[in-house]
Amino acid sequence: MPRCPNGHEQKVGLRCAACGQEMTYREAVNQLRALPVVQPDWGKVSVLSVGYRKLSLPVDYSGEIMIGSTNAKTSSSFQVVSIRGGSWLDFLKQYVKDLRRWMELIGIEKSSNSFIVVDTTNPLCVLTISAIPQLEHTAVIAIVADDDSTPVEQNTSYVALSLCLKKGIPVIALSETYEREMLFFTEERGFATRGDAIARLLETLIAASDDVMDILERDQRLGVKIHCLSAIVAASRSVYGTANNAYSAQSYSISMGTQPTDYQTVYSLVFSDKENVAEFQKSFGSYRNKKFKGALSAEFRYKETTSPMYDMVTLYGMKGETPLDGLREGYSAIVRSVPELNAEGAG
């Protein structure tokens, strides 16, 4: 705002309307050079999906990386043309620079918490994980090849998980079989399977995103880098009866087919009305002491809801690189035939 020599402010004019002195615009012009600080709100949670269509979730940003008929980029989609006969390495070589630039432009690192949902049997998965910048508060939800997968799929999955470990990105792993057989009830649409079931499970994790990230990052300091889970969604007492029964049911459906001795930590996230929290907490203590007495860390966390139904997600921190063990044979078989498809080639 320009001022006269006596300090009176005036929007326009050659002389001050208050005292008649000549106006000077020199300082006002200098003030215009100082641009206002832009502080956009990047939101709390972002989700990027690879190998799935963009997931419909209550988040601040949802995007997808996919194969299509043309190369195309929008604010929420990075689409590439299929490479005929191409492996993960071909997609990595051709598109990694473009994908890194796209991730910078959409500001994937700006949200408070970021989830990358990846089908690790998809050849775009290694490309995506390679392009992810060094992010804080980021986790990969990985659909992992298993015994029913082909050696090519096992090789791709092995390389993707190895790259996550190399980059220090925590992983929540679900086997292909678990993902294929996953079935959750939703009040709006009835039973959900496959991509819809993944979205329903993610809704629960996102509702406790700060807790999930805190758990994953604390476990990383213990050397625990990969987790699996068991989940009950939209449960009720008419189905499971007591909380003890619900925890028992969970123990028979864990997302990676490993043994209880493979788990180093165990955490329970329960979404329920306040009346039942004490029962769930007590039941988790019994579940933990019965099956995971030697766990390095165990904790119960609760989120209050108003729904008559409840959700339960239990996270299990796994020893070392346990999920890679079941993939090693298929991975090695491909590397013996095509040596360049080794994990070092993705670095």
Nearest partner of 316 among 338, 278, 339, 284, judged by Cα: 284
Q: Name the burial class of residue 296, with classes exposed (0-12), middle (13-18) and buried (19+) by CB atoms within 10 angstroms of its CB.
A: middle
- Least confident stretch, 80-94, 161-175, 242-256: 242-256
Contact 109, 43 (CB under 8 A): no
Give 99-121 pLDDT, tens digit per residue.
999 998 888 778 889 999 999 99
What is residue 257's predicted lDDT score, i.e. its pLDDT?
72
Give 47-72 pLDDT, tens digit per residue.
999 987 777 778 888 899 999 999 99
Compute CA distances 212 → 20, 171, 203, 274, 281, whole Å.
66, 11, 12, 21, 18
What is residue 90's predicted lDDT score, i.e. its pLDDT?
96
Distance CA 240, CA 101 (A): 49
What amino acid is encoded at 182 in this protein?
M
Q: Which residues contact 41 (CB under 8 A, 6 or more apart)?
A: none
Give 140-190 pLDDT, tens digit per residue.
999 999 998 999 999 999 999 999 999 999 999 999 998 888 877 666 666
Q: Using DSSP bridges, classify how beta strands 61-68 and 72-73 pair: parallel, antiparallel or unpaired.
A: unpaired
DSSP H or E segment with residue 310: strand 310-318
Asked whether the CA dihedral 23, 27, 33, 35 is positive or negative, the reply is: negative
Q: In what order do the strands lie in the sheet with 138-144?
A: 72-73, 77-81, 61-68, 45-50, 113-119, 138-144, 171-175, 226-235, 310-318, 263-272, 297-304
Of residues 279 and 194, the one with the higher pLDDT is 279
Give 252-272 pLDDT, tens digit per residue.
889 987 777 889 999 999 999
Tell me, what DSSP letter sits at residue 190?
E
Q: Whole-model pTM?
A: 0.85
Distance CA 329, CA 130 (A): 23
Report the SS3 class of residue 83. coil
Q: Which residues contact 2 (CB under 8 A, 6 or more apart)?
A: 9, 10, 11, 23, 24, 25, 27, 28
User: In the predicted model, what is the mean pLDDT of residues 195-210?
Assistant: 85
What is residue 234's predicted lDDT score, i.e. its pLDDT?
82
- State the average pLDDT for the chain: 87
- Helix pair 328-337, 151-167: axis angle to 10 deg: 100
67: tokens are 């194969």
As a whole-number percent, the residues of the chain with pLDDT over 90 amount to: 52
- Least confident stretch, 41-50, 68-77, 209-218, 228-237: 41-50
What is residue 52's predicted lDDT score, i.e. its pLDDT?
76
Report the SS3 class of residue 52. coil
What is residue 154's predicted lDDT score, i.e. its pLDDT?
96
What amino acid is encoded at 119 in this protein?
D
Domain residue spans of the chain: 1-37, 40-170+323-347
